[in-house]
Structure 1
Amino acid sequence: MNILVLVVDDEPDVEALFRQQFRKDLRAQRFVMDFANSAADALSRIAATIEQSLILILSDINMPGMTGLEMLPKVKAMRPDVPVIMITAYGDPDTRRKAIEGGATGLLTKPIDFTLLREEIDTRLEKAS
């Protein structure tokens, strides 16, 4: 069974950054990371992963087209069991409130604290096993 973490961000360097940060985990096949560069792309990937063990979605908030906050209720309707953590450069209280009210499990601010994110992924891996 593939355990999947989906990262949604329109910035092209995000994939390289995440692959670098989690290279040991990916090489050890603890989980698989997939990347979507837009909310629309993410929604189609999520629809295609119904048979996979999707344990976590990490999504940027500010993206062209559909924002992460606009995507959030659609994701929760498709996969209510999957936690979604929103990522933003602006961790103001209003953004945090909107994310949590929309169904997000949490909010990470940029630059991302990868130690904290690793703990979150480890927690999700334990629950999935």
Structure 2
Amino acid sequence: MSTYIVVVDDEPDVESMFRQHFRRDLRSGRFAMEFALSAPSALERVKAIPDPSLILILSDINMPGMTGLEMLPKVRAERPNVPVIMITAYGDDATRKRATELGAAGLLPKPIDFDLLRNEIDHRLEGSV
């Protein structure tokens, strides 16, 4: 069984950036990453991944159409046991508070600290074993 992380961001270069930073993990099969360019697409992917394979969702906040904050309650309703970490270039207190109120497990500022993210993923992988 594969372990999945879903990354939601409307910027197409995000996928290559994540694949580059986690290339060894992806190549070894330690986990798989699914990418969605929109919140509606992410919701479809989240529904398609079987429990308990999905261990983490990473979502940008500012996206056209449905924002990450608008998607958050929908994905939490669908997968209440899967943590969602929001990613934003605007990590102000109001955004952090709103994300937390909607059920986010955390907020990562852009540019992403991939060492910090790797620690979070390692923690989630240890919990899923």
- Shorter-chain TM-score above 0.5: yes
Q: Deviations 1:84-109 (Å, cap 9, x if unpaired)? A: 00000001000000000000000000
TM-score normalised per structure 2: 0.98
TM-score normalised per structure 1: 0.98
Aligned to 2:42: 42
Name the Cα RMSD after superposition.
0.7
Summarize the alignment of residues 84-123 of structure 1 with structure 2, pairs less than 5 Å apart.
84-123=84-123
Distance 2:72 2:55 in 1: 15
3-state SS of the aligned residue for 1:87? Answer: strand
Aligned to 1:11: 11
Contact 1:4 1:52 in 2 (8 A): no
Aligned residues with identical type, % of pairs: 69
Distance 1:50 1:35 in 2: 16
Extract structure 1 runs of 4+ deviating beyond 6 A: none
3-state SS of the aligned residue for 2:34? Answer: strand
Does structure 1 residue 60 correspond to structure 2 residue 60?
Answer: yes
3-state SS of the aligned residue for 2:45? Answer: helix
Distance 2:23 2:50 in 1: 25
Contact 1:2 1:52 in 2 (8 A): no
1:51 Cα shift? 4.3
Distance 1:93 1:45 in 2: 30
3-state SS of the aligned residue for 1:50? Answer: coil
Distance 1:126 1:54 in 2: 13
3-state SS of the aligned residue for 1:33? Answer: strand
Bigger drift between 44-53 and 60-69 goes to 44-53
Gaps of 5+ in 2: none
Distance 1:49 1:125 in 2: 16
Distance 2:92 2:71 in 1: 19
Bigger drift between 23-32 and 43-52 goes to 43-52
